[in-house]
Amino acid sequence: MLRLFSRNFLNNLFVRFFSLFRKFSESEKEILSFLKKKLGFSPNNIKYYRRAFRHKSAAGKTEEGFKRSNERLEYLGDAVLDAVIADYLLHYYPNEHEGFLTKMRSKIVSRSHMNSLAVTLGIDKIVKVKLGDADKQETINGNALEAFIGAVYMDKGYEFSKSVIIQKILKKHINMHELQSIDTDFKSKVIEWAQGNKKGIHFETEEKTISDDLSTFQTSVYIDGKIWGCGEGSSKKKAEQQAAEEGCKHLFID
Amino acid sequence: MLRLFSRNFLNNLFVRFFSLFRKFSESEKEILSFLKKKLGFSPNNIKYYRRAFRHKSAAGKTEEGFKRSNERLEYLGDAVLDAVIADYLLHYYPNEHEGFLTKMRSKIVSRSHMNSLAVTLGIDKIVKVKLGDADKQETINGNALEAFIGAVYMDKGYEFSKSVIIQKILKKHINMHELQSIDTDFKSKVIEWAQGNKKGIHFETEEKTISDDLSTFQTSVYIDGKIWGCGEGSSKKKAEQQAAEEGCKHLFID
């Protein structure tokens, strides 16, 4: 433990000492200022954050043909975020069932919520992209936020990432009570979308008997006669919601 | 940091001191022996592990009607496991794309793999269940393994859980190269199942043009004329695999 501590300490000291003598590029200065002003810390190693804010459209390739984009950090950050939020919600709601906790976490990490959080934090200003498509930009910001969390984890470890996520993101920018009251009703959403776009929509549900006292329901959602989502659940409502959620996903309905 | 350390240290000392004077029940002794022999550590607080190994069928209720089962710990452990495996794979495969890493993680945490890991570790011997159904027992073991990881996290923190997962589970019981070579081919699986059960099976795929050079494919898998899964992807193969995976899930094909 002590050896590990000393090695990390010396390593950090080494990196910090030499960083005094190197010039930071404009984009690095931007990142340093973002970390200091928005999140209140300086990095040990800026390379993780440079990587986190680089979308694949703006990424160069290594000699082996490997793209230096933020996708691997996003994969890591996504998992770290899930673990920290699970921990946080477990303490925040000491008596709630895990189904409720899962639902709350889904709301926090939903695509649209992560994108708006990224914009609130100002990540859209520093992320490097080489695309013009405004729609695509939105996902890019949410993904960059996840990659940023992966970078903090690589740079400073789990406990530090946890404190950044809880103190600087969850407590500062998320109103848990407000989020709790939002009902993610996918059925209403997909019906509203279909009506707005003048498409015919209907749900078909079949009941499947498993044993004397156990049935499952399978629902398909049809838009203009074509299946766009399937769902299964222990009630008709659940199966419909799942089918509608899949429909929303396939049709890019937020 | 020092204050936190002292507080934890004193807290642990306190718990350990008083545990010397209390009698452990038979099931607690079983848990203590499992932790010591299989994983090489003693708990700070055994209550988390007691909870982790208690399936809802064997759980009592609190005064508020809240069930004391392992489900909340399973929710936490599942997320911690994902984060640790993401970190591990990122270092194990320094040049692989995040799609490959996601696939490898899915293989490690798949239901059947977690169940067999739980049995290898001997969790099936200590988990408290009040059900006779042998099929259900299997999922119970995998879920108890996840809950156990949640317990280690609550009891000893992230870094300790990470070292248990990596040193005592991943490195000891998982052959990464073997796992890599397993191809999770859902299409073959569902076709094999249908043929074995004398059911008619066919796939229907539609191409949807998004722009001049972009299409997506939507596939539905029909078994005896009824849709059991839908999938979408940038290629016909991907869409078929996704539909087949959904079919496998709905039909409980492992």
Q: What is the CATH number of the domain that holds A76?
A: 1.10.1520.10
SS3 content of chain B, % helix, strand, coil (to 5): 65, 15, 25
Model confidence pLDDT, tens digit, residues A116-145: 899 999 999 998 888 765 556 667 899 999
Helix (H, G, I), strand (E, B) or coil at A101: helix
Please check whether residues B175 and B202 belong to one and the same domain. no
Model confidence pLDDT, tens digit, residues A181-226: 776 678 878 888 888 788 888 888 887 777 666 677 889 999 888 8
Please check whether residues A48 and A160 belong to one and the same domain. yes
Residue B30: inside a domain: yes
Residue B2: inside a domain: no
The alpha helices in chain A, defined as continuous H runs, are 2-19, 26-39, 47-52, 71-92, 98-108, 111-121, 123-126, 134-156, 158-163, 171-173, 176-181, 186-196, 236-250
Total count of domains within chain A: 2
The answer to whether B26 is a known catalytic residue is: no
- Mark which of A129, A152, A181 sits at the end of a domain: A181
How far does Cα B105 stand from its chain's mean position?
10
Cβ contacts from A onto B, under 8 A: 91
Residue A14: inside a domain: no
Please check whether residues B33 and B158 belong to one and the same domain. yes
Please give the angle made by the CA atoms of A128, A130 and A131, to the nearest 5 degrees: 120
Please check whether residues B152 and B35 belong to one and the same domain. yes
A57 — contact with chain B (CB < 8 Å)? no
- Mark which of A121, A155, A181 sits at the end of a domain: A181
Residue B11: inside a domain: no
Cβ–Cβ under 8 Å, residues A15 and A29: no
Are B90 and A74 inside 8 Å of each other by CB? no
Are B229 and A230 inside 8 Å of each other by CB? yes
| Torsion, Cα of B75, B77, B81, B83 (10° steps) | 70
Residue B16: inside a domain: no
Please check whether residues A97 and A206 belong to one and the same domain. no
Strands annotated E in chain B? 201-211, 214-223, 226-233
Please check whether residues B152 and B77 belong to one and the same domain. yes
| Residues found in chain A | 254
What phi and psi values does residue B210 have, to the nearest 5 degrees?
-95, -45
Model confidence pLDDT, tens digit, residues B23-63: 778 888 999 999 999 999 999 999 999 999 998 877 777 66
Nearest CA distance, A31 vs chain B (angstrom)? 24
Note down the domain range covering B137: 25-180
CATH of the domain at A214: 3.30.160.20
Please check whether residues B50 and B79 belong to one and the same domain. yes
- Chain A residues close to B232, C-beta within 8 Å: 250
- Mark which of B126, B148, B180 sits at the end of a domain: B180
Residue B9: inside a domain: no
- Chain B residues close to A218, C-beta within 8 Å: 227-228, 250
In angstroms, the CA A57 to CA A44 distance is: 27
In angstroms, the CA B78 to CA B106 distance is: 12
Whole-Å CA distances, B250 to B40, B168, B219: 39, 33, 16
Q: Is the reported ipTM for this assembly greater than 0.85?
A: no
The answer to whether B63 is a known catalytic residue is: no
Q: Mean of the per-residue pLDDT values for chain B?
A: 85
pLDDT under 70 in chain A at which residues?
Answer: 1-8, 12-22, 62-66, 132-138, 183-184, 211-214
Please check whether residues B147 and B197 belong to one and the same domain. no
In angstroms, the CA A85 to CA A205 distance is: 35
Please check whether residues B170 and B210 belong to one and the same domain. no
Percentage of residues in chain B with pLDDT exceeding 70? 85
